């Protein structure tokens, strides 16, 4: 069917006007405050998941540090991201096959800089003792599906520190494994638990997740105002991760996320410097 040029012009003009209005509405939307979360500690300034990186995060004024825990061969909670030690130490082997004594012999700093030679892989107990109460701790459970005792041990360890005065509000636990997060919540309902998501969100799952999770840590590519609005209707806080560009900070602020995890320095328009670290 033939459509005249005169008919097309008003349509295209309407589309252009709509796009301009949408862009202005987005740009003029107020920037929302958020919690700054240093992933693996201040890993832009120090080797990831080390006491040096965690201390730097405290010095820089972060709200939380995020770090990972795995289970050693002899049943200790070890702070490390990878399943093996090769990338971030001078050793080789899987954490599950190494004892704490063997793990503590490894140099976890020289790969980053000679300034951090002989930096060691910390244990969760060491991190809690030094930083518990000084800064919020966001703990990710790794491989809990293969080592189910990890969840119970983590719960017992955190409860002990709460009994010694650490406020539950300064602790959060997350995992990609939904069943283990559900188990952790059942064991430790006083500590906020959350689900890590890197696949498109299924709104139908919100109601189920809300029974045992209070926050969602989501790949920022999956986030929209609609998704965040619906998630917050179910009581979830939203943390976004892999933020690496200046403009992405403002995108996340305008979307209304509760926490931002990133590896970039960000200068807010009011002049407040937020240094957020993420690998």
Instruction: Please list the active-site residues.
Output: 39, 81
102-to-78, 96, 269 alpha-carbon distances in Å: 12, 11, 48
Helices (H), 61-177: 100-103, 124-131, 149-163
The sign of the torsion formed by the CA atoms of 32, 230, 211, 238 equals: negative
How many residues are recorded in the chain? 279
Task: State the Cα–Cα distance between residues 70 and 144, nearest whole angstrom.
Answer: 8
> 111: Cβ–Cβ under 8 A, 6 or more apart, which residues?
47, 87, 88, 89, 90
> 225: Cβ–Cβ under 8 A, 6 or more apart, which residues?
255, 256
Q: Report which DSSP code applies to 215.
A: E
Task: State the Cα–Cα distance between residues 198 and 200, nearest whole angstrom.
Answer: 7
Provide the 3-class DSSP secondary structure of residue 262: strand
Other CB atoms within 10 A of residue 22 CB: 10
Task: State the Cα–Cα distance between residues 106 and 121, nearest whole angstrom.
Answer: 7
90-to-8, 87, 93, 115 alpha-carbon distances in Å: 66, 8, 10, 15
């Amino acid at each position: 069917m033939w459509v005249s040029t005169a008919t097309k012009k008003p349509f295209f003009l309407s589309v252009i006007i709509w796009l301009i209005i949408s862009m202005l509405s987005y740009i003029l939307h107020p920037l929302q405050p958020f919690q700054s979360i240093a992933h693996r500690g201040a890993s832009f300034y120090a080797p990831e998941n080390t006491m040096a990186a965690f201390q730097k995060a405290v010095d820089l004024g972060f709200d939380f540090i995020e770090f990972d825990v795995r289970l050693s061969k002899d049943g200790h909670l070890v702070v490390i991201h990878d399943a093996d030690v090769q990338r971030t130490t001078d050793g080789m082997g899987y954490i599950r096959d190494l004892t704490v004594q063997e793990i503590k012999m490894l140099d976890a700093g020289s790969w980053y800089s000679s300034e951090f030679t002989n930096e060691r892989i910390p244990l969760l107990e060491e991190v809690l003792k030094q930083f518990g109460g000084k800064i919020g701790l966001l703990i990710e459970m790794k491989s809990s599906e293969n080592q189910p005792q990890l969840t119970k041990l983590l719960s017992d360890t955190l409860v002990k520190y709460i009994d010694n005065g650490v406020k539950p509000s300064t602790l959060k636990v997350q995992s990609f494994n939904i069943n283990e997060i559900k188990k952790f919540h059942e064991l430790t309902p006083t500590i906020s638990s959350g689900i890590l998501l890197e696949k498109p969100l299924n709104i139908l799952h919100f109601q189920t997740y809300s029974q045992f999770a209070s926050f969602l840590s989501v790949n920022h590519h999956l986030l929209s105002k609609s998704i965040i609005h619906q998630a917050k209707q179910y009581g979830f806080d939203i943390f976004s991760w892999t933020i690496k560009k200046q403009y992405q900070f403002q995108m996340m602020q305008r979307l209304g996320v509760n926490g931002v995890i990133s590896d970039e320095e960000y200068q807010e328009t009011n002049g407040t410097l937020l240094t957020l670290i993420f690998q």
